[in-house]
């Protein structure tokens, strides 16, 4: 069984190595999902297109996978059962994810995100929300950037909680560089996850894609502080597209047109303070249990 899924990962590596743009990558992933697996797509649908070259590519992909494994880098393909289920329901889930640390199949996480240049009050709010999530045994999901991300991450780790860092580079890199020690702390007790090849450097295109992956992984996104051009607005919009709840602090709503434009979208809520954020999150986290209870009640009906 392990060999089977190793072949599936190698096949997905081959498919994605052939792409040059995000759109091409999404199209390749969609074809693999339609075929039922990346391996089947290569083996049954397209073998005549590549011939012997395909076998060389597969051998190279297997070598890459062994090298990554030796470096304690986990690799999961969307078409295999060990892929994070939190991501697999998203329409734009990455074909491969790369991880360092412990990947938990049942991980329930909430993103705490915001500006890199937040005020002391905003940083304190982020830290308090993170501590509240830890107390509820929820993972704190962070982009591991400066500002709000760092405040939430440090508070969660100091409280003994689990942090999932979804990063905008490959796992060989830490961005910003001064957060390298923070990355290592997260790996040691939680998880760092990336949708990019391990050697991918930071760029203006990687961080918006990171925000999309992070919003899909989370039960909800809390936006603590953000400006008109903050990358956080991308995560808010992606979360709405993914059908994930978004909680905006009142100060974010008052200072940004993009935040006010989201108010009429489903499951976008506004909170005045940390206590209200945690109360809303408690309601959101209870939803799956409420649905299970309703289904059980329906089954028990005469």
Which helix (H) or strand (E) segment is 113 a member of?
strand 109-114
Whether the per-residue pLDDT at 55 is higher than 90: the answer is: no
pLDDT of residue 33: 93
Cα 14 to Cα 54: distance, rounded to the nearest angstrom:
8
Confidence bin at 50 (pLDDT 50/70/90): low
Task: List the single range of 1-5, 55-59, 248-252 with lowest mean pLDDT.
Answer: 1-5
Q: Rounded mean pLDDT of 229-257? A: 90
Whether the per-residue pLDDT at 297 is higher than 90: the answer is: no
pLDDT of residue 100: 98
pLDDT of residue 26: 93
Confidence bin at 219 (pLDDT 50/70/90): very high
pLDDT of residue 254: 87
* Bridge-based pairing state of the strands 109-114 and 220-225: parallel
| Surface-to-core class of residue 235, CB atoms within 10 Å of its CB (0-12 exposed, 13-18 middle, 19+ buried) | buried
Cα 61 to Cα 249: distance, rounded to the nearest angstrom:
45
The two structure tokens encoding residue 195? 């949708």
Cα dihedral 40, 46, 52, 53 sign: negative
pLDDT of residue 299: 41
Whether the per-residue pLDDT at 261 is higher than 70: the answer is: yes
pLDDT of residue 277: 95
Whether the per-residue pLDDT at 4 is higher than 60: the answer is: no
Q: Rounded mean pLDDT of 254-263? A: 90
Question: pLDDT over 90 for what percent of the chain?
Answer: 72
pLDDT of residue 290: 44
Task: Identify the residue with better confidence: 56 or 101.
Answer: 101
Alpha-carbon radius of gyration of the chain: 20
Q: Rounded mean pLDDT of 154-178? A: 97
Question: Any idea of the CA torsion for 228, 232, 236, 239, to the nearest 10 degrees?
Answer: 160
pLDDT of residue 48: 53
pLDDT of residue 64: 96
| Whole-prediction pTM | 0.90
Q: Which of 196, 188, 189, 187 is nearest to 214 (CA)?
A: 196
The answer to whether 165 and 138 have CB atoms below 8 angstroms apart is no
Cis peptide before 176 (omega within 30 of 0): yes
pLDDT of residue 186: 98
Cα 24 to Cα 152: distance, rounded to the nearest angstrom:
35
* Per-residue model confidence as pLDDT tens digits over 170-185: 999 999 999 999 999 9
Per this entry, what is the length of the chain? 302
Q: Rounded mean pLDDT of 148-152? A: 96
Which helix (H) or strand (E) segment is 50 a member of?
helix 47-50
Task: List the single range of 108-122, 200-214, 286-300 with lowest mean pLDDT.
Answer: 286-300
Whether the per-residue pLDDT at 43 is higher than 90: the answer is: no
Whether the per-residue pLDDT at 155 is higher than 50: the answer is: yes
Q: Which of 97, 95, 96, 100 is nearest to 71 (CA)?
A: 100
Cα 148 to Cα 12: distance, rounded to the nearest angstrom:
35
Task: Identify the residue with better confidence: 299 or 32.
Answer: 32
Backbone φ and ψ of 80, nearest 5°: -120, 155
Q: Rounded mean pLDDT of 234-262? A: 92
Whether the per-residue pLDDT at 302 is higher than 60: the answer is: no
């Amino acid at each position: 069984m392990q060999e089977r899924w190793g072949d599936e990962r190698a096949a997905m590596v081959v498919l994605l190595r052939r792409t040059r743009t995000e759109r091409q990558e999404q199209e390749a992933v969609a074809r693999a999902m339609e075929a039922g697996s990346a391996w089947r797509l290569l083996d049954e649908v397209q073998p005549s297109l590549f011939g012997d070259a395909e076998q060389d590519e597969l051998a190279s992909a297997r070598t890459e996978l062994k090298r990554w494994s030796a470096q304690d880098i986990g690799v999961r393909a969307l078409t295999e059962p060990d892929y994070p289920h939190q991501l697999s329901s998203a329409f734009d889930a990455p074909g491969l994810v790369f991880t360092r640390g412990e990947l938990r199949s049942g991980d329930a996480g909430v993103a705490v995100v915001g500006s890199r240049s937040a005020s002391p009050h905003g940083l304190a709010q982020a830290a308090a929300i993170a501590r509240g999530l830890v107390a509820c045994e929820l993972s704190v999901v962070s982009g591991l950037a400066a500002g709000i991300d760092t405040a939430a991450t440090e508070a969660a780790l100091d409280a003994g909680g689990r942090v999932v860092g979804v990063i905008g580079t490959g796992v060989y890199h830490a961005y910003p560089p001064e957060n390298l020690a923070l990355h290592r702390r997260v790996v040691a007790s939680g998880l760092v996850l990336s949708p990019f090849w391990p050697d991918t450097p930071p760029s203006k295109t990687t961080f918006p894609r990171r925000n999309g992956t992070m919003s899909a992984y989370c039960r909800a996104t809390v936006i603590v502080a953000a400006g008109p051009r903050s990358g956080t607005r991308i995560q808010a919009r992606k979360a709405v597209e993914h059908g994930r709840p978004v909680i905006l602090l009142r100060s974010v709503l008052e200072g940004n047109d993009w935040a006010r434009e989201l108010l009429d979208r489903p499951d976008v809520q506004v909170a005045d303070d940390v206590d209200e954020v945690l109360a809303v999150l408690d309601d959101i986290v209870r939803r799956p249990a409420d649905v299970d209870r309703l289904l059980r009640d329906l089954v028990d009906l005469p």
